[in-house]
Amino acid sequence: MTTKTALVTGANKGIGLEIARELRALGMHVLVGARDPIRGKEAAESIGAELLQLDVTDPASIAAAAAQVEVLDVLVNNAGVLLERGALPTATPVDLLRETYEVNVFGVVAVTNAFLPALRRSPAARIVNMGSGLGSLHFASDPQHPYGQNPLLAYNSSKSALTAITLSYAAELRATPIKVNVADPGYCATDLNFHSGPRTPSQGATAAVRLATLPADGPTGGFFDEDGPVPW
Tens digits of residue pLDDT in 122-161: 999 999 999 999 999 999 999 888 888 778 999 999 999 9
DSSP assignment string, 110-129: HHHHHHHHHHHTSSS-EEEE
* Tens of pLDDT, residues 81-99: 999 877 899 999 999 999 9
Mean pLDDT of the chain: 93
> Catalytic amino acids?
155, 159
Counting residues of the chain whose pLDDT is more than 90, the rounded percentage is 85
CATH level 3 topology of 5-229: Rossmann fold (3.40.50)
Assign 60 a pLDDT band (cuts: 50, 70, 90): very high
Cβ neighbours of residue 36 closer than 8 Å, sequence gap 6 or more: 12
> Is pLDDT larger for residue 196 or for residue 2?
2
Task: Indicate whether 118 pLDDT > 90.
Answer: yes
Query: 3-class DSSP state for residue 75?
Result: strand
Half-sphere exposure of 86 (CA within 13 A, CB side): 1
Task: Indicate whether 14 pLDDT > 80.
Answer: yes
> Is pLDDT larger for residue 38 or for residue 196?
38
**pLDDT at residue number 2:** 80
Instruction: Check if the beta carbon of residue 139 is closer than 8 Å to that of residue 147.
Output: yes
Q: What is the mean pLDDT of residues 191-197?
A: 56
* Tens of pLDDT, residues 67-82: 999 999 999 999 999 9
**pLDDT at residue number 146:** 83
DSSP assignment string, 139-184: HHT-TTSGGGG---HHHHHHHHHHHHHHHHHHHHTTTSS-EEEEE-
